[in-house]
Structure 1
């Protein structure tokens, strides 16, 4: 291996720290990386017990849990998803005087039905885009509201 060559290593994601991923390296030390550097996006508990290091470096396990490239490379899609996420979070966090709960519910019925029509892979991709928008925000209640959107819309569910 030469300086400048691409390298890949297994890291353990610890937490988001100011918009970057805090990870533990194989030698036990910690470092921060842009979230885009993390290729395998799966919680360790969700992986099969029998997964080996080689399975994660290549092969079907890695491909099944790999982040969709288009969620990172399509600025229009990322921008639209971020705009939608911020709009929904703004309505969700508004007071009853600013936006009545009944009105807010009506406003989100149609987008929710559109999201429900998407296939599981596209719903997961949209959930990732919402989470990407949230990660760009500082820690706090606004970011937490954005992070709740995938679950609120049922985007992480596998059934269509």
Structure 2
């Protein structure tokens, strides 16, 4: 391992503290981290007594909850993706009287066309940004609607 390499360790999220995550480290101490530093692994009661480093890549880590990688941190790109995710979720969760399915389909036709033209890597980056927007929301139906946005555009598919 070299300085600057990404590293991971299991921490226990305790609470939100002034916009940061208060976590318990493996040695029992507590520290505060930006929320974007964390990946949701699993609710504590669902974890086995011992989780090894290898389990982080094949075990309880939930891919759909992975936060965007730090390289996705362009504020303009993040803001645009968040705005798009909320718009799509608002339309998807609207009633037929609020937005007809035919109109919604027309509204998303061109964005879907553009997203299909992206490289597989950029499609995954965009999906990560959409999921990052979802993870800013509290657990519940709205977060779940936001988490469905990447699948609605088939962004997790490798072929365009």
- TM band (smaller chain): 0.5 to 0.7
Q: Is 2:70 aligned against 1:69?
A: yes
What's 1:155 paired with? 155
- Please say if residues 120 and 159 of structure 1, whose CA atoms lie closer than 8 Å, have aligned partners that are also in contact: yes
**Inter-partner Cα distance in structure 2 for 1:98 and 1:110:** 21
Cα 1:20–1:135 change in 2 (3 A) is: farther
1:50-129 to 2 correspondences below 5 Å: 68-72=69-73, 74-129=74-129
Structure 2 unmatched runs, 5+ = 42-53, 60-67
Secondary structure (helix, strand or coil) at the match of 2:91 reads helix
Give the aligned partner of residue 64 of structure 2.
Answer: none
Output the aligned Cα RMSD.
Answer: 3.7
Aligned CA distance change for structure 1 residues 12 and 159 (closer, same or farther; 3 Å): farther
What is the total number of aligned residue pairs between the two structures? 137
Between the aligned partners of 2:7 and 2:26, the Cα distance in structure 1 is 8
Which TM-score applies when normalising by structure 2?
A: 0.65
Contact preservation (8 Å) 1:13, 1:21: no
Task: Evaluate the alpha carbon distance shift between residue 45 and residue 105 of structure 1 in structure 2; reply closer, same or farther with a 3 A threshold.
Answer: farther
